[in-house]
Amino acid sequence: MDAFEAFIALVFVIALQVGPNIAYLQYMKRAMRRPWNVKIDPNYRPRITVIVPTYNEAKVIEMKLQNLNSLAYPEDKLEVIVVDSASTDGTLDLCRQWLTRNNFKFKIILLSEPIRISKSHALNYALKYANGEIIVVTDADAILTPDILIKAIPYLADPEVEAISGRERIVNANACFIAKMESVYRDIYYMLRLGESKVHSTQIFQGEFAAYKRNLLELFVEDPGRSDDNGAVTEILRKGKRCLFIPEAIFYDAVPCNLIDYLRVKIRRAAHLQREFFVRLKLLAKGVLNIPKSILIANIYQHFVNPLIFFMLLVPLALYFLIELSKISLTLSTLLILAITMASISARRFIALYVISNIVLIIAFIRTLVPSKRQGWEAIRSSREYLNILRSLEKIKHPTSMRTTNTQRKSLIKLGGKPKVIVEAKQQ
Ligand code: GDP
Ligand code: MN
């Protein structure tokens, strides 16, 4: 194969990889503009249990409690459960101290597990104490906008909608190249998840903020290779019910600026997701997954076929082409490499994201093949630091676009005002 043939093959492979993705993105861009075919009831105020799982969250737990205290929701209709799994950094002590010093407006239950098994295990334990009709799961390191519930819960009024998830904003979006790159990913993620939700359901949830209907909710899957959020989505899709991404339900999270930490988080999340798609594929083959197939097939293409084409065809061909080109003209191949690296900032971000995503997916894929490498959870430290920025960010407390309207506020005041109870329990 000479340089010209390698070039033709390369163009073909790039088209094979990029084509279906662009086609799907275009389809979703159109779908996301459709109206919701959902019965949204803005006055729907079910009882809610907010569960916060914690493992060594001393750095953020006080901020989290403060944040939960700012949630707009009738005080007698919301309870919080913090479930800790044997943290060694005094997370629960900090919680207790914060609660004695501050006036927490909702009922709160502190639970403590004697050993750490997994996030899902902790959530299932907390479910035993939960009285809500709706279960909200929110990570300790995620900051919720005060009216996230007012914005999100009305979608659960539809009997077909079983769960909803929100939109992530990055706190430190301009802090470093990695955070900027992640923002590009989030923008694409936003279009895909919203489009998919309009068609039927998003197949990807984020544990930072997710709300589920309790009556139909099975326990969170405890398989260490799977995650609480996407495991629950599979169970819901199996019933043919809907899971929606709600763009107005906004929460904030921080991105690690350290490449190793970033890759660790991304690989763990990708591995969980691939495992989940694998489970769904098996359900699809059995004919028991009652949802539009196109979304599942497209996601499987993105999470499995893409990285395989990238590493087995694109990378080898590109290298081969460069070597052959260098044989003909070293200047030409150098110029080509220079042109790619000097691409505009946004193109560079996009190219970096593209390459890193494929690397993440392939490593995650290899890891999922090895059962002993299947991961549970770990706490990533470096991104927690950025969350402290939030304390001084007034805009998070009162995001301009997110203010509760006066009528909403009035109805909240009417309904609110129950005595606070702090219950503590240890697992037998
Ligand atoms: P990431 O957002 O995917 O990087 O995951 P995190 O490391 O932020 O973890 C998500 C949430 O689960 C955080 O609130 C953690 O403290 C919590 N968590 C992780 N593992 C455990 C566990 O074994 N038990 C409990 N109770 N919480 C956990
Ligand atoms: Mn997190």
DSSP string, 180-225: HHHHHHHHHHHHHHHHHHHHS--S---TTSEEEESTTPPPPP--TT
Bigger pLDDT: 342 vs 84: 84
Please give the pLDDT value at position 36. Answer: 96
Please give the pLDDT value at position 401. Answer: 40
The atom of ligand 1 lying closest to the CA of 139 is 14
- Whether the pLDDT of residue 130 is over 60: the answer is yes
> 167: helix, coil or strand?
strand
Q: Which ligand is nearest to the CA of 119?
A: 1
The atom of ligand 1 lying closest to the CA of 378 is 7
- Whether the pLDDT of residue 304 is over 70: the answer is yes
Bigger pLDDT: 35 vs 337: 35
Verify whether ligand 1 is closer than 6 Å to residue 274 (CB atom). no
What are 320's strand-pairing partners?
none
Of 376, 418, 400, whose CA–CA distance to 53 is shortest? 376
- Whether the pLDDT of residue 188 is over 90: the answer is yes
The atom of ligand 1 lying closest to the CA of 118 is 23
- Whether the pLDDT of residue 215 is over 90: the answer is no
Q: Using CA atoms in the order 275, 309, 291, 202, what is the torsion angle rounded to 10 degrees?
A: 70
Please give the pLDDT value at position 244. Answer: 97
> 148: helix, coil or strand?
helix
Per the prediction, the chain carries an average pLDDT of: 86
- Among 43-47, 223-227, 262-266, 317-321, name the one with the lowest average pLDDT: 223-227
Alpha-carbon gap, residue 142 to 94, rounded angstroms: 18
Q: Which residues neighbour 277 within 8 Å (Cβ) at sequence distance 6 or greater? A: 203, 296, 299, 300, 303, 304
- Whether the pLDDT of residue 346 is over 50: the answer is yes
Bigger pLDDT: 413 vs 54: 54
Read off the pLDDT of residues 379-401 as tens digits, 9 standing for 90 and up. Answer: 556 677 766 655 545 445 544 44
Give the Cβ contact number of residue 112 at 10 Å. 20
Q: Which ligand is nearest to the CA of 263?
A: 1
The greatest distance separating any two alpha carbons of the chain, rounded to the nearest whole angstrom, comes to 80
Convert 300-318 to b/e letters by CB count within 10 Å (16 or more is b): bebbbebbebbeebbeebe
Please give the pLDDT value at position 413. Answer: 28
Q: Which two tokens stand for residue 421?
A: 């109870």
> 251: helix, coil or strand?
strand
Please give the pLDDT value at position 425. Answer: 56
Chain position carrying tokens 């969250």: 57
pLDDT, average across residues 223-248: 91
Q: Are 91 and 58 in contact (CB under 8 A)?
A: yes
Verify whether ligand 1 is closer than 6 Å to residue 207 (CB atom). yes
Verify whether ligand 1 is closer than 6 Å to residue 377 (CB atom). yes
- Whether the pLDDT of residue 115 is over 80: the answer is yes
Please give the pLDDT value at position 216. Answer: 62
- Whether the pLDDT of residue 403 is over 50: the answer is no
Please give the pLDDT value at position 381. Answer: 60
Read off the pLDDT of residues 267-289 as tens digits, 9 standing for 90 and up. Answer: 999 999 999 999 999 999 998 88
Segment of 177-181, 372-376, 399-403 carrying the highest mean pLDDT: 177-181
Please give the pLDDT value at position 421. Answer: 44
Please give the pLDDT value at position 402. Answer: 38
Bigger pLDDT: 156 vs 333: 156
Please give the pLDDT value at position 416. Answer: 30
Bigger pLDDT: 347 vs 256: 256
Please give the pLDDT value at position 415. Answer: 29
Please give the pLDDT value at position 388. Answer: 64
Whose C-alpha lies nearest to ligand 1, atom 23?
118
Of 384, 367, 387, 385, whose CA–CA distance to 376 is shortest? 367
Q: Are 192 and 23 in contact (CB under 8 A)?
A: no
Please give the pLDDT value at position 370. Answer: 75
Q: Which two tokens stand for residue 428?
A: 């037998």
For 424, the enclosing helix (H) or strand (E) is: strand 422-426
Provide the residue type at 380 as one letter: I
pLDDT confidence tier of residue 329, bands split at 50, 70 and 90: confident
- Whether the pLDDT of residue 51 is over 60: the answer is yes
Q: Are strands 161-170 and 242-253 parallel, antiparallel or unpaired?
A: parallel
- Whether the pLDDT of residue 211 is over 80: the answer is yes
Bigger pLDDT: 121 vs 396: 121
Please give the pLDDT value at position 338. Answer: 85
Using a CB cutoff of 5 Å, list residues around ligand 2, an ion: 139, 141
Whose C-alpha lies nearest to ligand 1, atom 1?
265
Give the Cβ contact number of residue 215 at 10 Å. 8
Chain position carrying tokens 């490498």: 373
CA count, 13 A, side-chain hemisphere, 401: 4
CA count, 13 A, side-chain hemisphere, 164: 25
Bigger pLDDT: 216 vs 109: 109
pLDDT confidence tier of residue 427, bands split at 50, 70 and 90: low
CA 207 to centroid of ligand 1, rounded, Å: 9
Please give the pLDDT value at position 362. Answer: 94
- Whether the pLDDT of residue 426 is over 80: the answer is no
For 384, the enclosing helix (H) or strand (E) is: helix 382-387
The atom of ligand 1 lying closest to the CA of 123 is 26
Single pTM value for the model: 0.88
Percentage above 70 pLDDT, the chain: 86
Q: Which two tokens stand for residue 194?
A: 């919203």
